[in-house]
Copies of this chain bind each other. A is one copy, B any other.
Amino acid sequence: MISSDTIRGYNDTFLLSLLSEGDSYGYALSKEIKDRTDGKYSIKETTLYSAFTRLKKNGFIEAYPGDETQGRKRTYYRITKDGIHYLKEKQKEWEITKIVVDQLVGGKKGEYYKRLHRANL
């Protein structure tokens, strides 16, 4: 199980990405994250709702009440234009981050080969 701290700051992006596929609410988004990662990552409730608060404050999402006739009333969320813009920025950032971290964490086959070669010089 990946810890949330490992991918700190990307929870907002995960939520925006899911909301970019359609409006949803807390519990459904939480389940979706767990399902899509095959249970390898899940967002904590407190993290989830504090993320909603932050995203609202930043104008990246809008909340509206659901019209459930049964069950407890849900709060639905809709991504805004600013949210879509932010999402795209973070998607680009992630692509760069992957490359940067790959170069620094090491541990890849190719890297070992190069190091071995260098050591033998």
Contacts of A20 in B (CB 8 A): 106
Q: Is the interface of A mostly helix, strand, loop or mixed?
A: helix
Is A100 a contact partner of B17 (Cβ separation < 8 A)?
Answer: no
- Listed stretches A46-54, A55-63, A68-76, A86-94; interface member: A86-94
Q: Does A107 contact B (CB under 8 A)?
A: yes
Is B10 a contact partner of A8 (Cβ separation < 8 A)?
Answer: no
Q: Can you spell out 18 A-B residue pairs with CB atoms less than 8 angstroms apart?
A: A2-B97, A5-B9, A6-B93, A8-B8, A10-B105, A13-B104, A13-B105, A14-B104, A17-B104, A21-B106, A37-B100, A38-B116, A38-B117, A40-B99, A40-B100, A40-B116, A87-B107, A98-B98
